[in-house]
Structure 1
Amino acid sequence: MTEQHKVWAIIPAAGIGGRMSADMPKQHLEIHGTPMLHHTLSRICASPVIDGVVIGISPQDSAWSKNPFTHPKILGVCDGGRQRRDTVLNGLKFLDGLEQVAQSDWALVHDAVRPCIVRQDIQNLLTQANDNEIGAVLGKRLVDTLKITDESQAIQQTVDREKLWRALTPQVFRLGDLLRAIEASVADRVQVTDESMAMERAGFHPAMVEGHASNCKITTADDLDLAALFLAKFQ
């Protein structure tokens, strides 16, 4: 019988959202009258495969202190770092210090500003991770034609998109493996842009799993309208 490992979610939510041009971090902007971060946490906590959740919040985040999200699966809050990677690392260390958490458990990292994650995507991700025992990344295949230009914006080459994907979140890996991989990137002064990049540097080859189109990342004001439509449809 295959050993069952628990699944612990880390939600980095310490960004300032500079491109949104709002008067608060974008994860606190409201969609249908509820903060975006609350939508994200609600969906992660509702997943039956998630055992517990830790949230990375900036110590200067007054919006969170005034309106925190509560749920039995919330294990606590860790300090947000200067970079997303630093927040995730703090979350991993927080989990690693808990008695009920093992380094062989799964650590699932999901962006706070992706509030439209669907339950089936989380399940599919964990199924693939359990199959390969390394980890998995939610993604979408690229469908647009890709061009490479020079400094004057003149097209130089068309890129074969056959094997190209957009990496999304959640991304899930063994907690101990991810902790050591991110610590190695810090020691080597390499700025990894997602958890998979840290794992790839450590010699791992996680699987890519096709995700639902609704899993949009909120970056600009226009994205809020799109998220509102998805949340109304998949509530």
Structure 2
Amino acid sequence: MNTIPRIHAMIVAAGRGSRFGASIAKQYTKLQDQTLLQHSVARLACSTYIDKCLLVVAADDSTAQTLDFALPIHYAVGGIERWQSVQAGVEAISNAGAKDSDLVLIHDAARPAVPSHDIDQVIEAAILEPYGAILATPVADTLKESYLQSIAQSELVDNTISSSTHPYAKRTIDRSNMWQAQTPQVFRLDQLQKVLAYVAEHQLAITDEASAFEHLQLPIRLVTGSRQNIKLTYPEDATLLAAILNAQS
């Protein structure tokens, strides 16, 4: 008789979001009187599979523990790189007595609008997989590969010639098999530990956990997620996210 593995939820909130350009870490940006981090925890709380959450925060974070959350919260201290923060969280989960076959769900604090249905869908897909599953959306826009070229420009003020570098379209990329990764991403605990150790040993630059599995050619299932599950990356994203949260409430 198959049993459902335990789900260990983790939110990575140790970064500062340099592209967002705010004076505070972007996970503490407020929308509807709640921080992004609180919204994201509340979304996980809607899943019947999740009963607590591990927050991986920066060593100098003095904000997270002052907030109220929709789930019981435990904490771990993250690293400089995202994968180091995930590794710290995985180690904390393992040390707390998790089984190798348990599933670790990793979510970004800056994705506060993930529908609860999508969370359950990706968990249910990962339960059936040996390695894991992630939320993703098929790429809808035309994709361009670029190249950089320096061009001479005349300065109207003093008639001097200067050069500047700009991107130019090189070719259009076939998007038929292209997907845009989201979170949550859900993986078997023992397999996640192995691929993170590989990343550390080989000093790989990865932008999400699924890419670590890809380096070892281990299959990760793609589960179609909602396009509402956008990430707060730039200041203008806040307006769109606020509208999405209003529509969902």
Query: Shorter chain as normaliser: what TM range?
Result: over 0.9
Residue 217 of structure 1: aligned partner? 231
State TM-score, norm by structure 1.
0.93
Question: Alignment partner for residue 166 of structure 1, among 180, 199, 204?
Answer: 180
Does the 8 Å contact 1:7/1:52 carry over to 2? no
Name stretches of at least 5 consecutive residues in structure 2 with no aligned partner. 150-166
The residue that corresponds to 1:206 in the other structure is: 220
How many Å apart are 1:32 and its aligned residue?
A: 0.8
The reply on whether 1:102 has 2:116 as its aligned counterpart is no
Matched to 1:137, the amino acid is: I
Inter-partner Cα distance in structure 1 for 2:191 and 2:7: 14
CA contact (8 A) 1:6 1:51 kept: no
Distance 1:156 1:22, change over 3 A: closer
SS of alignment partner, residue 90 of structure 1: helix
- Give secondary structure in 2 for the equivalent of 1:205: coil
With structure 2 as the length reference, what TM-score do the two structures score?
Answer: 0.88
Task: Name whichever structure is richer in strand by fraction.
Answer: 2
Whole-Å separation in 2 of the counterparts to 1:14 and 1:61: 8
- Write the distance in 1 (CA, Å) between the matches of 2:238 and 2:148: 33
CA–CA separation in structure 2 for the residues paired with 1:26 and 1:225: 14
- 1:73 aligns to what? 72
Shift of 1:68: 2.8
Letter of the 2:96 partner, please give it. L
- SS in structure 1 at match of 2:211: helix
2:144 is the counterpart of 1:147: yes
CA 1:39–1:154 in 2, change beyond 3 Å: closer, same or farther?
closer
Q: Equivalent residue for 1:44?
A: 44
Shift, 1:72, TM fit: 4.7
CA distance 1:186–1:148, shift in 2 (3 Å): same
1:117 to 91, 114, 118: 114
What are the Cα deviations for residues 97-143 of structure 1, in whole angstroms up to 9, with x where unaligned?
013x2121000100010000111101111121122332111101111
Moved more, 129-138 or 23-32: 129-138
Identity of aligned residues (%): 30
- Indicate yes or no: 2:222 matched with 1:176: no
Find the counterpart in structure 1 of residue 10 from structure 2. 10
**Aligned residue-pair number:** 232
2:28 alignment counterpart: 28
Give 1 or 2: higher helix fraction. Answer: 1
Cα deviation 1:40-72 (Å, max 9, x = unaligned): 11111221111431101112112224x233445
Structure-2 separation of matches of 1:28 and 1:43: 16
Long gaps (5+) in structure 1: none
